[in-house]
Amino acid sequence: MYKKMKAIYTLSLSLFLLASCEVDNYEAPEVTLTGKIVDAQTNKLVESGGINAGTVVRLYEGDSQQPLVLNTLPDGTFTNSKFFAGSYSYTAQGPFKLVTSEPQRTTVDQDAEIEIKVIPNVRLEATVEEVSGTTAKIKVKYNKVATDQKLVHLAVVWSKFPNPNNFTFAGGAINQEIVEAQNLTAGEKIFTITNLTPHTKYYLRSSGRTANPGNYYNYSTPLELLIQ
């Protein structure tokens, strides 16, 4: 009796394992999806903080309510090299307003790229005006595009590593100014950064934040600053 029950148990377990293998035997995702967040008016990439409070892209397969969440790189691009083919809707959230508020749709059956058009809250440009010893003066050009939002912060952030942001600037620092009371819309500001280390390369970005949902920061394209 014991041997008979053992044989039945072994057979049942084998059938269960076989069925499990059949259920889980899906092909691995092989499609690569790339994308970028683009200023609809200038056609330039819209920079953000990357994984540090930066732009987030959400993709929904078919009618699913569970999104696949992708963080963009600081330059506004993103890549997923293990993507399942299918029909998707997608949207994004960051330091901008979407040109089209409704989710966009795309069918992915091979390697593909999507482009998400937006209007940034504020456009920024940083240039090095002067370097003297261990001090540098940085000119920040700003243009607040979001007419319904006040410009709250302007800053320059620098680091010994690429793509610093307001929350991560190893080996550097941040010089930030609260400008909300000034009602700024467009113009230039000079930021002075001090105590730089000789014979060191720094990576630098300007940043700005409007009073936007999510408190997202816009960033300029990075600069390299070499202190002799």
Show the domains of the chain with their CATH numbers: 31-120 (2.60.40.1120), 122-227 (2.60.40.2060)
176 CB-near residues (< 8 Å, 6+ apart): 153, 154, 155, 166
> pTM of this prediction?
0.86
Per-residue pLDDT, 26: 57
For every one of its 228 residues, what pLDDT tens digit does the chain have, with 9 covering 90 and above?
444 443 433 434 344 444 444 445 556 778 999 999 999 999 999 999 999 899 999 999 999 999 999 999 999 999 999 889 999 999 999 999 999 988 999 999 999 999 999 999 999 999 999 999 999 999 999 999 999 999 999 999 999 999 999 999 999 999 999 999 999 999 999 999 999 999 999 999 999 999 999 999 999 999 999 999
DSSP 22-78: HHH-PPPP-EEEEEEEEETTT--B----TTTT--EEEEEETT-SSPEEEEPPTTSEE
Per-residue pLDDT, 30: 80
Place of tokens 């200023």: 39
